[in-house]
Structure 1
Amino acid sequence: MPTPLDQSRYQVRFDWGSTGLARLAPGDVTVVVDVLVDTDTDADRIGAEASGAGSTVLRGGLRCAGALAEAVIAEQHRRQARTSVVVIACGAADAGGGTRFAVEDLLGAGAVIDALAARGIDHTSPEAAAACEAFRGLRPALRHLLTASGTGQTWAEAGRREDVLAAASVDADSSAQC
């Protein structure tokens, strides 16, 4: 039975982690966003859960937001029907095994939602619209925000600052999986 928290009234839905995936109405396509991919991610598990529920799963973030949107459009054409899209920001694992907010994943999810809207898939939930507007408003500061974030600082301390800067490059990859 639909609930207000499942965002089923909307074509594009947004939430965080496995619990968010379980809370949302199932989507025809699930986009799993993990901008700074590391071993502390549950992106594989989220993808497997979505796939097990019958959703086509795509993974990516800022570097391939446009390509992900194109893949969703292609799936909608293949299905010849309106296609629901669930966008899940992975976040990062905290010390207690839960999920913590990760600004890079919020911005990556917003970039995907923005790319979908630019292609006409714009019936978004308020949650998805807020992520999209966060990306739009903060896009000029992406490199700074990613390097200054908790995850970015952790990566920089581990000698991976250039990886963080590379992850901040919007649409640098043309593959729908980045």
Structure 2
Amino acid sequence: MVFGQGDYEVRFDWGPVGASAIAPGAALVAVVDVLSFTTALTVAVEQGAAVLPYPWRDDSAAEAAARHQAVLAVGRSAAGPGQVSLSPATIVEAASRRRIDRLVLPSPNGSAISAGLAATGATVVGVSLRNAGAAAAWVREQAAGQPVAVVAAGERWPDGSLRPAVEDLWGAGAFLHFLSGSGEPAAGFSPEAGAAVAAYRAVAGDLPGAVAETASGRELIAGGFRADVEVAAAAGVSTAVPVLREGWFRAPHRSAAS
């Protein structure tokens, strides 16, 4: 199918529908949700946690956390003092006080896409601006010339339709920039993937300022979550590569959670 970009070794698209189109035949699929699922995921894996991506924030998420003896990340607005939420800053704070071995991380965008891809047997990698270079290096080695798909999660409009979020375009573009070896996108990159690289390179000189000015960034800052935007925009600070295997994201060298 033409919309699957199957003629290209490196593909890029948006949201769950785009993921289902470009993932078939790919050796690995990178999922990008900068504000904030994959940033929170990267931070958690940096701290040594295994992360269960959960598509829904409802009673079943609490049940899953209890079943796996895991910490449940609650909604930002619902988090009390010391509680972990989708806010990456709360994960950093909580990990400074106690060890978190397992974390259930609900998200209707990046988490739902990751869980859906895993159900098809795809190998999923969590990518943020923080770890784009490290993730690209790991994927390039593992893929060994096989196709790679990159999915920008995006956000949702009130009617449930996809709202392309430019910070996810930049995160995907950063990963693709490093996947290309920081040079010009290779012949195997789809035009969509090449456009993501160009978008990232246009703002790479001031990512903190650019991310803070996005609609998603301004929404978080207005809500009192400026620290989350700053954590998300800290490009290249992490070597953590969250890989989804047996239902859990972990660093590649770690065994899967039970």
After the TM superposition, which parts of structure 1 deviate over 3 Å for at least 4 consecutive aligned residues? 38-41, 119-122
Q: Which residue of 1 aligns with 2:32?
A: 33
C-alpha deviation, 1:41, in angstroms = 3.8
- Equivalent-residue separation in structure 2 for 1:86 and 1:65 (angstroms): 14
Residue correspondence of structure 1 range 35-114 to structure 2 within 5 A: 35-37=34-36, 38=86, 41-76=108-143, 81-114=144-177
Q: Name the amino acid aligned to 1:23.
A: A
Report the RMSD for the aligned CA atoms in angstroms.
2.0
Gaps of 5+ in 2: 37-85, 87-105, 243-250, 252-258
Give the TM-score taking structure 2 as reference length.
0.62
C-alpha deviation, 1:119, in angstroms = 7.2
Is 1:125 paired with 2:125? no
CA contact (8 A) 1:29 1:85 kept: yes
CA contact (8 A) 2:23 2:29 kept: no
Question: What is the number of equivalent residue pairs in this alignment?
Answer: 172
Q: 1:63 aligns to what SS in structure 2?
A: coil
Is 1:141 paired with 2:141? no
The alpha-carbon distance between structure 1 residues 111 and 100, as it changes in their structure 2 partners (threshold 3 A), is same
C-alpha deviation, 1:32, in angstroms = 0.4
C-alpha deviation, 1:4, in angstroms = 1.8
Q: Name the amino acid aligned to 1:174.
A: T
CA contact (8 A) 2:207 2:235 kept: no
CA contact (8 A) 1:28 1:54 kept: no
C-alpha deviation, 1:52, in angstroms = 2.1
The alpha-carbon distance between structure 1 residues 25 and 47, as it changes in their structure 2 partners (threshold 3 A), is closer
% identity of equivalent residues: 36
Q: 1:118 aligns to what SS in structure 2?
A: coil
The alpha-carbon distance between structure 1 residues 176 and 25, as it changes in their structure 2 partners (threshold 3 A), is closer
Q: Name the amino acid aligned to 1:32.
A: V
Q: 1:70 aligns to what SS in structure 2?
A: helix
Q: Name the amino acid aligned to 2:13.
A: D
CA deviation string 1:57-99 (max 9, x = no partner): 00121110011112212322xxxx5221110000012211122
Q: Name the amino acid aligned to 1:5.
A: F
- Equivalent-residue separation in structure 1 for 2:116 and 2:108 (angstroms): 14
- Equivalent-residue separation in structure 2 for 1:166 and 1:92 (angstroms): 19
CA contact (8 A) 1:65 1:111 kept: yes
C-alpha deviation, 1:141, in angstroms = 2.9
Q: Which residue of 1 aligns with 2:17?
A: 19
Give the TM-score taking structure 1 as reference length.
0.88
Q: Name the amino acid aligned to 2:9.
A: Q
The alpha-carbon distance between structure 1 residues 129 and 94, as it changes in their structure 2 partners (threshold 3 A), is same
CA contact (8 A) 2:31 2:110 kept: yes
C-alpha deviation, 1:138, in angstroms = 1.6
Q: Which residue, 237, 243, 252 being the options, matches 1:172?
A: 237
- Equivalent-residue separation in structure 1 for 2:21 and 2:189 (angstroms): 16
- Equivalent-residue separation in structure 1 for 2:157 and 2:126 (angstroms): 21
CA deviation string 1:107-140 (max 9, x = no partner): 0000010010017983210000000011012211
Gaps of 5+ in 1: none
CA contact (8 A) 1:69 1:119 kept: no
CA contact (8 A) 1:7 1:25 kept: no
